Amino acid sequence: MAYIALDMAIQAAAAGASPTFTQIGRRQSGTLGYEQSVAHRTGGRGDDSMAFSLLYATGSVNWLVQDKTFLTTIANGNRLTTGYPGSLPTAFQVQGGTDDAACVRHQTGCLINRLAFEGAVGEALSATAEWYATAETDLTSWTVASPPTGAPMEWYKANCKIGGSAYVMESFSAEIVHNLRGYASLDAGVTGTLRWVEGFLPGSEAVTASAQLRTPLGVDLTADDPQSSSYTLACTWTNGTTSLTLTLTGMVVTGMPLELGGADDEIFWAVDFEAPLNSNAWVIT
């Protein structure tokens, strides 16, 4: 039989046995899959065998934010401790597929690799999460959790400031990336899962942001040391029952082009920000 998106759900829970799953907000799109590549083992006369690479599960979801349940489950997205080599993000698990379990995948050992927010005038706050997982199985039965309550967080209920000041912001986006990579060894495989990763290593945690402003920020990027000035970006959204605040600290301006439009177009100043690596610049409250 055929399916449409109305037949499908995606939900998450903390790691461990007997978890309580919760749907991940008002889903707009999502995928559950795996990452691997193929190598060709060729010989002198063109004979060939195909070999498959290291294997791990992947997933992503874009949703309209209604509450902070999923964001709390993954510990805000940022790592638990600081310092080299750093810790991994909080592990969680995901279930997703059709309502009648005709095609349901259960991923465990999930770790956020990228988490992003987008907000703009006329739009609701949206979030995108991308993760890696150490295992994936097919389920023959599952219970679909109830969706979160509350409305999405609309643009007119937002409050965004740079360095404590308002700059008549038109749009805002921010993301944190952990640059995770999988690892395996020659002598630790188990039959049936020989190609699966044994785990993931943390890379450098990178935080970036961008905004469109109606008034210029006033930063001279041609100065001798423009990075000597850093800013705190604080954006708060609410739907009347839940508030979410994203605070980015130590953000340095890396770009600020003047956008030249047509004669009747509005003029915005586009500003790009970046934090020092592994600085724990990203906090959700």
What is this structure's pTM? 0.91
**Residues 96-153: pLDDT tens digits?**
998 766 689 999 999 999 999 999 999 999 999 999 999 999 998 889 998 888 999 9
Q: Give strand pairing partners of 128.
A: 62, 116
Pairing verdict, β 22-23 and 126-133: unpaired
**Residues 177-222: pLDDT tens digits?**
999 999 999 987 788 888 999 999 988 889 999 999 988 888 888 8
From the list 154, 155, 152, 161, the residue with the least C-alpha distance to 121 is: 155
From the list 52, 23, 11, 47, the residue with the least C-alpha distance to 35 is: 52
* pLDDT number for residue 2: 62
The answer to whether the beta carbons of residues 9 and 23 sit under 8 Å apart is yes
φ, ψ of residue 148 to 5 degrees: the values are -60, 150
C-alpha 276: how far from chain center: 19
Token reading at 140: 């023959």
Amino acid letter for position 211: A
* pLDDT number for residue 134: 95
Extended strands (E) in 26-67: 26-35, 38-42, 48-52, 56-64
pLDDT above 70: residue 1? no
